[in-house]
Amino acid sequence: MRKLKQIIPIVFILVVCISLINKEEDIIIPDYAIRFRVIANSNTIEDQTTKYQVKNILEEKLNSLMTTAKNKEEATKIIEENISWIRNEVNKYDKNNTVSFGKNTFPAKEYKGVTYPSGKYDSLVVTLGKGEGENWWCVMFPPLCLMDRNKENVEYKFLVQEIINSYK
C-alpha cells in the first residue's frame, strides 16, 4: 500500500508532463497585427508565377518599411502612405487586380504545425484577376514575413512568439 501511495504522484506528474509535451502550441496572432496576402488569379503555372512575382516585389519593400514601425498605428500609416506605390507595382504584373487595405477575410491556415484561425483581420490583400487561385500570406506587422522558413517547427513557434511578444 505504501508503494502505491508513492507511485500515484509520480504517475500523475508523468501524465501531466506527457500531455503538455504533446499539446500543440497555438500561436494567436495578436489584434495589433497586420497581415499581408496575395491571391492568384488561378492555379495555372503562369498565374502562380505572377503571384510570387507580386509577392516578392511588395514583400521586399514592405518588410523594410515595417521594421521602422513601433506599433500598429505607425504600420498603418506606412501602408497608407505607400498604397499608390503598391497599386502601381501590382499593375505592372496584372492590370486586372484589387488592392484592399482594412478588414479582410482570411481562411484558416496551418503552417509548420501552427493553426491560424479564419476570420476578418486588418490586412493588405492583393487579388490578381478573379482571385480563384492559391494564395500566399504572412504577418506584415509585427514583421514575421522576414522569418527563416527553414526553421524546425519548435524553433519557428518560439521565434514567432518571441517576435509577437516584442511588440506588446
Q: Strands, E, within the chain: which ranges?
A: 34-39, 97-106, 109-111, 114-116, 119-128, 135-141
pLDDT value of residue 88? 97
Mean per-residue pLDDT, 15-38: 64
pLDDT value of residue 27? 56
Quick one: what percent of the chain has pLDDT higher than 90? 46
In this predicted structure, the answer to whether residue 25 has a pLDDT above a threshold of 60 is no
Q: How confident is the model at residue 133 (pLDDT cuts 50, 70, 90)?
A: very high
The span from the CA of 168 to the CA of 164, in Å, is 7
pLDDT value of residue 84? 97
Determine if the pTM surpasses 0.85. no
Q: How confident is the model at residue 146 (pLDDT cuts 50, 70, 90)?
A: low
pLDDT value of residue 39? 96
Q: How confident is the model at residue 166 (pLDDT cuts 50, 70, 90)?
A: low
Q: Of 103, 108, 139, 127, give the one whose Cα is nearest residue 39.
A: 127
Residue predicted with more confidence, 107 or 168: 107
Question: For 58-92, what is each residue's pLDDT tens digit?
Answer: 998 998 888 888 999 999 999 999 999 999 999 99
Q: How many residues does the chain have?
A: 168
The span from the CA of 134 to the CA of 126, in Å, is 12
